[in-house]
């Protein structure tokens, strides 16, 4: 089969031109390019253990600690003594690690994008100094506890309470789907205070009254443990309250940034599925010729490229708006819902193109296909993001009937 097209691994950065069809990321250079390379180097280091950890539902803590040693757990937060990480760099890092594995990307996102950013955006200078650097090194693993068993999409209605008692706060309630909530050191717990507003509190996971159970039976994001947490008269001193959190609007600062991150993660998963499918179709011979000589395969690859390219354009424009400081919650919502829908289509096409072997973890696409279902739901479901956008274009809120 001398005329069989050969897929050559593209080791350079920016992306393979068959992926970045409009050369959208050709302008990445300087320190941002170096951060991207660091992320790719980490992914090559971590790749051999990914599928085994996912299959066994094990959290690869040493892998996360290696990412920390390479300076990747930052989410762009300024850390004393560490090199600057731009908004562009942090988004490219998130994209590249998601391209490897959504569980790993989620773990690092929980640590840096949720727990660390809660402290960075809402904490005191003393809290930032105490926690941020050790957390960037994974010496302190952190969780972000907002979602509750009965309040996911309507998290603004949270029932967990924080009652002032002298110089302490007494916290009661439950949280669910909390990454790092059972395998970490601290949890940033969001609770409703007596005045009805929302507060955030740094809770040690080993203190009395904090009971966390790892959720089992997951068919997606199996490489990161998520917890069901029960808080029974958990006492924290007032210096553990994040002073910048006074309402749910303050919490929304953290959530908007992570929704942008989900769009970039969806882009990463879609790229890997597309590239794996292109490589497989180039090498797989059926009925005496490679799959890519079939019209339907070329059409499917073109369809996948359309979605990948739309994701790239969305993410690049999001980046420009984020860098300019003008990005809105509604724009982030549109990107999140579009990104996960597009990634679902790409993953489904890739899995189908692999035929029977598409369900094998060794080919990665089945893992991505399962994991994108979680991306589609967390940080705001497809429906909630659509309603956020819908309200912005109609002027009418339709969140309740």
Question: What pLDDT score was predicted for residue 13?
Answer: 60
CATH 1.20.140.10 placement within the chain: 247-392
Whole-number Å distance between alpha carbons of 204 and 236: 9
Structure tokens belonging to residue 108: 């690092």
- Let me know if domain 141-245 sits in CATH 3.40.50.1220: no
The reported pTM is 0.93
- Outline which parts of the chain fall under CATH 2.40.110.10: 141-245
Task: Determine the Cα angle at 74 with ends 227 and 261, to 5°.
Answer: 65
User: Start-end ranges of CATH 1.10.540.10 in the chain?
Assistant: 28-135
Nearest to 63 by CA among 35, 100, 90, 92: 100
Backbone angles phi, psi at 147, to 5 degrees: -65, 140
Q: Residue 123, SS3?
A: coil
Q: What is the C-alpha to C-alpha distance for residues 18 and 51, in angstroms, rounded to an integer?
A: 26
Note the pLDDT of residue 200: 96
Mean pLDDT of 339-348: 97
- Per the prediction, the chain carries an average pLDDT of 92
pLDDT of residue 3 exceeding 50, the answer is no
CA distance 40 to 199: 38
- What is the predicted pLDDT for the residue at 6? 44
- Out of 3-17, 267-281, 303-317, least confident range: 3-17
Q: What is the pLDDT of residues 47-63, one digit of tens each?
A: 999 999 999 999 999 99
Q: In the block, which residue shows the tokens 């760099």?
A: 89
Distance CA 371, CA 351 (A): 13
Distance between CA atoms of residues 350 and 339, nearest Å: 16
Tell me the CATH number for domain 28-135: 1.10.540.10
Q: Where are the beta strands (DSSP E) in 215-370?
A: 226-237, 285-286, 289-290
Q: Determine the pLDDT at residue 257.
A: 83
pLDDT in tens, 309-331: 999 999 999 999 999 999 999 99
Q: What are phi and psi of 241, to 5 degrees?
A: -85, 135
In the prediction, which pLDDT does 384 show?
Answer: 87
Helix (H) or strand (E) holding 331: helix 329-353
Give helix 87-100 / helix 248-283 axis angle, nearest 10°.
50
The radius of gyration computed from the CA coordinates of the chain, to the nearest angstrom, equals: 22
350 Cβ partners below 8 Å, 6+ apart? Answer: 273, 274, 276, 277, 304, 358, 365, 368, 369
Q: DSSP characters for 364-392?
A: SHHHHHHHHHHHHHTTS-HHHHHHHHHHH
- Give the percent of the chain with pLDDT over 90: 83
Instruction: Report d(CA 301, CA 350) in Å as an integer.
Output: 9
pLDDT confidence of residue 2: 38
Four-CA torsion 77, 83, 84, 85, nearest 10 degrees: -70
Residues 6+ apart with CB under 8 A from 144: 110, 114, 115, 118, 178, 179, 187, 188, 254
Q: Over 70: is that where the pLDDT of 5 sits?
A: no
Cα torsion 344, 261, 240, 325: sign: negative
Provide the pairing of β-strand 142-145 with 186-193.
parallel
Element (H, E) at 186: strand 186-193
Annotate 13-36 with DSSP letters as a single string: SS--TTTSTT-TTTT--HHHHHHH
Polymer length of the chain:
401
**Which CATH number fits the domain 247-392, given the four candidates 3.20.10.10, 3.40.630.30, 1.20.140.10, 1.20.1290.10?**
1.20.140.10
Structure tokens at 42: 């980490």
User: Whole-angstrom Cα distance, residue 171 to residue 231?
Assistant: 6
Tell me the C-alpha distance between 182 and 387, whole Å: 33
33-89: pLDDT as tens digits: 999 999 999 999 999 999 999 999 999 999 999 999 999 999 999 999 999 999 999
Q: What confidence category does residue 381 fall into, taking pLDDT thresholds of 50, 70 and 90?
A: confident
Please state, in angstroms and rounded to a whole number, the distance separating the CA atoms of residues 32 and 96.
13
Pairing of strands 198-204, 186-193: antiparallel
């Amino acid at each position: 089969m001398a005329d069989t097209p050969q897929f050559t691994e593209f080791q350079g950065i920016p992306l393979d031109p068959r992926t970045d069809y409009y050369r959208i990321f050709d302008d990445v250079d300087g320190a941002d390019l170096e951060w991207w390379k660091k992320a790719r180097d980490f992914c090559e280091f971590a790749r051999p253990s990914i599928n085994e950890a996912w299959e066994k539902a094990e959290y690869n803590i040493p892998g996360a600690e290696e990412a920390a040693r390479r300076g990747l757990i930052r989410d762009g937060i300024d850390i004393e003594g560490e090199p600057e990480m731009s908004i562009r760099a942090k988004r490219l890092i998130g994209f590249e690690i998601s391209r490897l594995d959504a569980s790993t990307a989620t773990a690092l996102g929980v640590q840096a994008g949720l727990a660390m950013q809660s402290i960075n955006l809402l904490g005191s200078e003393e809290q930032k100094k105490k926690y941020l650097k050790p957390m960037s090194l994974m010496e302190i693993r952190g969780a972000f506890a907002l979602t509750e068993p009965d309040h996911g999409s309507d998290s603004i209605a949270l029932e967990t309470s924080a009652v002032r008692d002298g110089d302490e706060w007494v916290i009661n309630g439950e949280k669910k789907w909390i990454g790092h909530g059972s395998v970490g050191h601290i949890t940033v717990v969001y609770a409703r205070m007596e005045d009805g507003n929302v507060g955030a509190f740094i809770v040690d996971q080993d203190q009395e009254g904090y009971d966390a159970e790892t959720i089992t039976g997951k068919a997606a994001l199996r490489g990161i443990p998520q917890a069901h947490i029960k808080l029974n008269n958990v006492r924290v001193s007032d210096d553990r309250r994040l002073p910048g959190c006074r309402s749910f609007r303050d919490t929304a600062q953290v959530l908007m940034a992570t929704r942008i991150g989900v769009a970039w993660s969806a882009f990463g998963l879609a790229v890997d599925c597309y590239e794996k499918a292109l490589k497989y179709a180039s090498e797989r011979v059926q009925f005496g010729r490679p799959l890519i000589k079939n019209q339907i395969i070329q059409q499917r690859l073109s369809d996948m490229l359309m979605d990948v390219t739309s994701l790239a354009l969305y993410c690049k424009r999001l980046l420009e708006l984020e860098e300019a400081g003008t990005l809105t919650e509604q724009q982030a919502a549109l990107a999140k819902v579009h990104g996960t829908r597009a990634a679902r289509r790409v993953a489904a096409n890739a899995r189908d193109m692999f035929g029977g072997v598409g369900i094998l973890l060794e080919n990665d696409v089945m893992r991505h296909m399962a994991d994108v279902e979680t991306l589609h739901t967390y940080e705001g479901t497809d429906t909630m993001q659509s309603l956020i956008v819908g309200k912005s274009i109609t002027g009418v809120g339709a969140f309740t009937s």
